[in-house]
Structure 1
Amino acid sequence: MTAYEMLSEPIRRYVRDKKWETLRPIQEAAITRILSTDNHYILVSATASGKTEAAFLPVLSAVDFKQPGIQVLYISPLVALINDQFERAELLCKYLDIPVTRWHGESNRSDKMKRIEEAHGILLITPESIEGLFSNRPERGRVLFSNLQFIIVDEVHSFLNTDRGLHLRSLLSRIHALAKTKPARMIGLSATIGDYEAAKQFTGEPDRTKVLVDSTPKQMQAEFVYWPVSAYKGFSDAFINDLYEDTKNSKVLLFPNSRKNVEELASKLRGKAEQHQGHTAWFSHHASLTKEQRHYAEEFAKNSTRQPYCIICTSTLELGIDIGSVDLVVQVDASPSVASLIQRTGRSGRQEGAMSRLLMYATRPWSLLQSIACWELYQSGYVEPLKDRTKPFDILFHQILSIARECYGITRKALVERIMGNAVFKELSKEEITGLITHMVKESFLEDLKRELIVGYKGEAITNSRDFYAMFSSPEKIKVVHAGITIGSIDEEDAYALFPGTCILLATKSWMITDIDRLAGKITVVATNKSGKTFFSSEGMAVHPKIEEKMLELLCTDTLKAELQPDALACLHTLREQFSRVVLHNFESERPVFIHQGFITWFPFAGDRIHSTLAYLLKEVDMHPDTPGMELTLEIGFSNLLPLLKKEILLLPQRISDIMDHSPDTFYTGKWGRYLPLSLKKQYVMEEEFDIKGTAAFIERLKLVKIV
């Protein structure tokens, strides 16, 4: 029996009406496996390869929608992605005559209430809305989640071993516990998973989870350009001219890594188009714009058949929101990770057989090198492995409060049993769990009524806040309003430098501030022809050690697979000249140290987290390293460096502990970690704020190579 023949007749009719000549490889595999086994599945396939249908076609064929209750739960990391998938799912479900409902903060309240009353069909939801149901309306959660047959998690890689992902895994465990019969089967969807074993853990039943990988190669074309840009003067007119010429006649997504650069480039490219009477479809897209602003850009792109456009965006368009066909992806400076580069590149060439096109602009030499390293790792099939968090006490603190609120009181024994049965907390001992509960009672986060625990008065202050549902911290924002319409927002901390008369960039345009009402959280603006500035804090993501290891290899060898324009090739040659005397045989362990005038300059090439841990370690022993970029410059003898590192990495945990004994809040401890007892705060800092374990392993294998 073919995969097509295994589908139910309504779903086969859907396929026929779509005039699909064949099913995609991932669809063939998923239909066959999902309909012939009872396993969980992770579907890994390139962007636009049909993963959504690969999940929904067999799931909707397998489900008996005559059974009571919601049968299929679709979980997405983004509200915008839910809205996008809703249209596709609704069209598909018309063939089955079943309802599809969106459940998030922006969705229609009457639709939600109708779904509670009828509890039928498919529900699309975010993790934060699941938490909201458990915390505030547990009886509704039981109605919606107790009859599930399938749970589909889209963009599952975005959840793997992040705080938000650990939270979702805990919520999924709680959903499974509500099942009237057997827990729902899980289907995860992703284009970028490098650690399949970690992905299997996400379902809570790794032995019963299978990964289906579509390894069909996708045609890629990448070109590297180097154009130096002053950190103080911003993007030059010559740079903008070059970028405009490359993007003016295409459908383009342009990723410059930060809101600041998004708005500066969007404004200058739009201005350049006006000078040359080019097209007017230049959009900015980031989290500080209103959903209406973002949605307009998405819909314009989706409905644009022939007209060119350019959306300058942050990671808000990195995930799979459907914006139609994109001709070209432009990356300005290195993407933060290989996984991110895969997601972004996959946005172009979405039509079957089409080639993905990537143009990479680097504005600094090290950024060029990092861009090449990411690309070559991408080509080799590498994706960053996941950082495992086996004892997430901060997430446990949050979930204890959530469970206590859900149950309106729970015995200590029952609470411990629920936690120990939750897959996220399986590495925690009973003593560790009871110890945290005792601390929470002592500090009034919980109240002990002898027979049961309830949320205490400090816990009430936390759980009553809208901020309780999310694992990520959102800074306070001041909205920016023009003619009574909100166009975006600025973080409250960034807004301190603003005053009436200041010109700001937002939504590709320049605005002059006419009034600031800090009490009401509102900035009033009018359009202006004056040049504006951006007021967004710097943003960034830690670079993985493997990327910097690849950068070192590119410096010390003649191998190069990427296609570089002459200016980029000249820049790489200049970098290689600096390392021309470096001869390394093992790029995992050997690192160059340059000797000059009583100082040494050491290049760890170990990734951001290890680099910052090393810098802090050296600062604590009064070495005060100069850290302008990739290097650490120190006044120390070459032969003394490695013994010092080996000694001090062993002492660093105690140094941090002593500091926190006197000042517990010296280091960042996460959104929920600040409520933990001091011993657990210390553990969080040593594992999350620093990377002591990874740094110790790096130092243990380290071999320094002297360059005179």
Structure 2
Amino acid sequence: MNGSVSDDPGGPDGLDLLHPTLAYHVVNTLGWQGLRPLQMESLAPLTAGEDGLLLAPTAGGKTEAALFPLLTRTASAPEGLTILYVCPIKALLNNLLPRVQAYAGWLGRTAALWHGDVTTAARQRILRDRPHVLLTTPESIEAMLVSTKVDHRDLFKQVEAVVVDEVHAFAGDDRGWHLLAVLERLTRLRGRPIQRVGLSATVGNPEALLTWLQGSESGAQAGRVIAPGVDLWRPVGEGGEQTPPPPGDVTLDYVGTIPNAAKVIAALHRGEKRLVFCDSRKTVEELGAALRGRGVTTFLSHASLSVDERRRAEQAFSEARDCVIVATSTLELGIDVGDLDRVIQIDAPGAVASFLQRIGRTGRRAGTERNCLFLATGEHGLLRAAALLRLWGRHWVEPVEPTPEPRHIAAQQILALCLQEGEVGEALWPEWWGGLEPFREAKAIAEHLVANGFVETDGGMMLIGPEAEKRFGFRYFRDLTSVFTAPPQFTVLHGRTEVGHIDPALLAFEEGSPGPRRLLLAGRTWGVAWVDWRRQRCHVEPVDGEGGKARWDSGGVLGASFDLTRSIRSVLLGENPPVRLTHRAEEALAKAREAHIDRIHPGGSVIVRDGKGDLKWWTWAGARANLTLVATLGGVVDAKQRVGDAWVRLRADLEPGEWKEAIAEVEGRLALPEAAPRALEGLKFSAALPEELAERTLAMRLSDVSGAQTLLAEPTRFVLG
């Protein structure tokens, strides 16, 4: 049964349900007088073996709420791997390791780390001396399952529980389906259900997230949401009732440019530790360089910096006081960056949930409150920030929705299973996933794999085929363990020291440019000494001055959501977010509202002819809904347009009568967007799918049927101008 825990957690401090040795160390080593409410309420269900979703704000004690009862439950288990602790990013695992080692050590057990940066020697030690707790990633579990150097049946034979930290970060993309599929295979190896415990901050649909985490055991295995004292936000429509905004000191300012943002950050809150979030690596680099140019002690963190570079920055930041660290979402999750004073956001994150994670990094000291300063660098960033804060003020947060129709994950998993087992019965392979959603209609996928040489058959058994070896066999199928295709990047080296990685397009562009080639990486300008194109390496030397350039592939992020874009519309109609607005922000919002005055109407959407003669339907529905509308309306839209969040370009000669007929004709019959052949390249393992299934999978991810239906049901004002 799903729901909020109401069981008696034991004594007044909850310690009587813990293993006595754990309880002793909680009091005498940690110095706690008792457990927090979440930790108390998780004890009874988790020690009893129930699944759970534990919700608490950042730094709310979720790790202990999961591990203390699981260590208690498995204290008498034989030596060997018993608990898996899975995180979405390696840095979070690195950060957690000392704490988990201490907790396991109190019971005479060990904890270890296994991910892509862990050395071969360290992995061999783990295989020799099995830890009680293993901190890892889904990709590393997959690699262990398919490796010929790991006896996976022996390694995982006594796993009792898996903790999935930051579970919302998995559930919202394909890594979540991959994780669930791997857990189903572990369950099959184990021969009985493995307890699943998810940890998360505020989410909009906790019960659905728990059901998703339970996978094929949902309904058969007991589970509950545990969130004592947490305000469980819900996704609500525009008609949701107004409530007092959440606590926190939030300010929205308009600065216009990145250099101006650096000027403001350098002048404000001197003597304090400030964490600045940017939503692109390029912006991190540009802002970091601008801050250093103003004499501010600045550190950088993003995914294209080397591991050593990131660790040095994060360690220095955690130990310093008057300094700034500029980061992408790599520091959004629970990595400890020390005693933080301020969070600053450049423009806006893509989701309210991300903002909740970021503001939750502040206000942890007694007598302080959570705070965030938004610095908008343009109209687009200002409107998105205002819209997001408006939703936040209404206690709205996005539901975590698994990616639809993950057929390519089914293809990847069938291939991985053939590697894991050597050979799999043609009629028995579906049993490994127990009816998990991606595998419910996967027979056609398996047949395609056989027909196209990805899988061979021999005497009723399936084996890995030559086409799979050709496409995914590099370094013993390393490419098969990850469900994302990483864009190619060149390694940047200063001497023998790795600085990070850059987009090769930057080098290609610079190759023919006059003067010395300069890169911007780790907040410093580097001169390109030479490029090893064959080995994909770029050798650099530090240079004085500016002029370095930063560039990375954007990853194909497709616009804002329907709800966020609709909230922008509400802001343009005059609704302010319930935060402090600077005079500059008020002026910039007034200008934006004046500029868009003919493009919005409170009673529905507007079709307007602009100064260039283009006829635009101002939907304010988000890119996915707009793509769905373009696919549905066919002949009345401009088929060659690049679709964005706010509008759809209609045929220039369209008349109001024809428009009404077109709307009436498509009522209740929406079409999915057409996936471009090149777009399929970004869907890893699409080559292992029948073409029509690959196209439909991508089309589902490009669409927003609900948003499109909302638009088609609303009145539309046709203004020829």
Matched, 1:198 2:214: no
CA apart distance, 1:223: 0.5
CA apart distance, 1:401: 0.3
CA apart distance, 1:65: 4.0
Matched, 1:179 2:211: no
Q: Quick check: 2:493–2:537 contact (8 Å CA) kept in 1?
A: yes
Q: Quick check: 1:47–1:350 contact (8 Å CA) kept in 2?
A: no
Aligned with residue 644 of structure 1, among 630, 645, 662: 662
Q: Quick check: 1:668–1:685 contact (8 Å CA) kept in 2?
A: no
Q: Which amino acid aligns with 2:110?
A: P
Q: Quick check: 2:672–2:699 contact (8 Å CA) kept in 1?
A: no
Alignment of 1:580-591 (within 5 A): 590-591=604-605
What is the TM-score with the length of structure 1 in the denominator? 0.89
Pair 1:87–1:541, CA change in 2 (3 A): farther
Residue range with higher mean Cα deviation, 203-212 or 111-120: 111-120
Aligned with residue 672 of structure 1, among 667, 682, 685: 685
Per-residue displacement from partner, 1:93-137 (whole Å, max 9, x unpaired)? 221111111111222434433332343411111111111011114
- Paired with 1:152 and 1:203, the residues of 2 have a C-alpha distance of 12
Per-residue displacement from partner, 1:287-343 (whole Å, max 9, x unpaired)? 111000001111122233xx2221111111111111122111111111111111111
Residue 267 of structure 2 is matched in structure 1 by 245
Residue 378 of structure 1 is matched in structure 2 by 392
Q: Which amino acid aligns with 1:440?
A: L
Alignment of 1:427-576 (within 5 A): 428-429=440-441, 433-461=442-470, 462-463=472-473, 464-499=476-511, 501-531=516-546, 532-538=548-554, 540=557, 542-558=559-575, 560-576=577-593
Matched, 1:40 2:46: no
- Paired with 2:634 and 2:506, the residues of 1 have a C-alpha distance of 29
Q: Which amino acid aligns with 1:517?
A: D
Q: Quick check: 1:599–1:637 contact (8 Å CA) kept in 2?
A: no
Residue 363 of structure 1 is matched in structure 2 by 377
Per-residue displacement from partner, 1:182-236 (whole Å, max 9, x unpaired)? 322111101132222331211223332211124447741110101223xxxxx34
Residue 334 of structure 2 is matched in structure 1 by 320
Alignment of 1:65-214 (within 5 A): 65-137=76-148, 140-180=151-191, 182-200=192-210, 201-204=212-215, 205-207=217-219, 208-214=222-228
Q: Which amino acid aligns with 1:228?
A: G
- Identity between Structure 1 and Structure 2 (%): 27
- SS of equivalent residue, structure 1 residue 498: helix
Q: Quick check: 2:631–2:671 contact (8 Å CA) kept in 1?
A: no
Structure 1 unaligned segments of length 5 or more: list them: 230-234, 274-278
Residue 276 of structure 1 is matched in structure 2 by none
Q: Which amino acid aligns with 2:443?
A: T
CA apart distance, 1:345: 1.4
Q: Quick check: 2:163–2:197 contact (8 Å CA) kept in 1?
A: yes
- SS of equivalent residue, structure 2 residue 364: coil
Q: Which amino acid aligns with 1:193?
A: V
Residue range with higher mean Cα deviation, 370-379 or 405-414: 370-379
- SS of equivalent residue, structure 2 residue 550: coil
Aligned with residue 347 of structure 1, among 337, 361, 365: 361
- Paired with 1:340 and 1:127, the residues of 2 have a C-alpha distance of 22
- List, as ranges, runs of 4+ consecutive aligned residues in structure 1 with deviation greater than 6 Å: 616-620, 626-629, 648-652
Q: Quick check: 1:128–1:469 contact (8 Å CA) kept in 2?
A: yes
Q: Which amino acid aligns with 1:673?
A: S
- Paired with 1:655 and 1:533, the residues of 2 have a C-alpha distance of 35
- SS of equivalent residue, structure 1 residue 202: helix
Q: Which amino acid aligns with 2:572?
A: L
Residue range with higher mean Cα deviation, 405-414 or 554-563: 554-563
Pair 1:677–1:374, CA change in 2 (3 A): same
Residue 313 of structure 2 is matched in structure 1 by 297
Residue range with higher mean Cα deviation, 1-10 or 168-177: 1-10
- Paired with 1:544 and 1:356, the residues of 2 have a C-alpha distance of 26
CA apart distance, 1:245: 1.0
Pair 1:172–1:153, CA change in 2 (3 A): same
Pair 1:153–1:494, CA change in 2 (3 A): same
Residue 62 of structure 1 is matched in structure 2 by 73
CA apart distance, 1:50: 1.0
- SS of equivalent residue, structure 1 residue 203: helix
Per-residue displacement from partner, 1:38-86 (whole Å, max 9, x unpaired)? 3200011100111111111221122134424311110111111111111
- Paired with 1:391 and 1:608, the residues of 2 have a C-alpha distance of 20
CA apart distance, 1:422: 4.4
Matched, 1:408 2:418: no
Alignment of 1:679-698 (within 5 A): 679-688=692-701, 690-691=702-703, 693-694=705-706, 696-698=708-710
Pair 1:452–1:596, CA change in 2 (3 A): closer
Q: Quick check: 1:390–1:425 contact (8 Å CA) kept in 2?
A: no
- Paired with 2:90 and 2:261, the residues of 1 have a C-alpha distance of 35
RMSD: 2.8
Q: Which amino acid aligns with 1:489?
A: H
Residue 241 of structure 2 is matched in structure 1 by none
- SS of equivalent residue, structure 1 residue 116: helix
- SS of equivalent residue, structure 2 residue 294: helix
Pair 1:434–1:596, CA change in 2 (3 A): closer
Q: Quick check: 2:502–2:550 contact (8 Å CA) kept in 1?
A: no
CA apart distance, 1:247: 5.2
Matched, 1:6 2:17: yes
- Paired with 1:627 and 1:677, the residues of 2 have a C-alpha distance of 27
Residue 53 of structure 1 is matched in structure 2 by 64
Q: Quick check: 1:614–1:695 contact (8 Å CA) kept in 2?
A: no
CA apart distance, 1:239: 4.1
- SS of equivalent residue, structure 1 residue 178: helix
- Paired with 1:284 and 1:669, the residues of 2 have a C-alpha distance of 28
Q: Quick check: 1:153–1:187 contact (8 Å CA) kept in 2?
A: yes
Per-residue displacement from partner, 1:627-659 (whole Å, max 9, x unpaired)? 6873345423345435435657989859949xx
Residue range with higher mean Cα deviation, 151-160 or 526-535: 526-535
Q: Which amino acid aligns with 2:196?
A: M
CA apart distance, 1:669: 5.8
Q: Quick check: 1:157–1:192 contact (8 Å CA) kept in 2?
A: no
- Paired with 1:30 and 1:361, the residues of 2 have a C-alpha distance of 40
- SS of equivalent residue, structure 2 residue 340: coil
Structure 2 unaligned segments of length 5 or more: list them: 1-9, 232-245
- Paired with 2:614 and 2:567, the residues of 1 have a C-alpha distance of 26
Q: Which amino acid aligns with 1:44?
A: L
Pair 1:702–1:494, CA change in 2 (3 A): farther
Per-residue displacement from partner, 1:526-563 (whole Å, max 9, x unpaired)? 11113112233345463211111122222224454121
- SS of equivalent residue, structure 1 residue 493: helix
- Paired with 2:367 and 2:607, the residues of 1 have a C-alpha distance of 48
Residue range with higher mean Cα deviation, 573-582 or 128-137: 573-582
Residue 7 of structure 2 is matched in structure 1 by none
- Paired with 2:559 and 2:214, the residues of 1 have a C-alpha distance of 27
- Paired with 2:642 and 2:89, the residues of 1 have a C-alpha distance of 41
- SS of equivalent residue, structure 2 residue 268: helix
Aligned residues: 678
CA apart distance, 1:626: 7.9
- Paired with 2:37 and 2:615, the residues of 1 have a C-alpha distance of 55
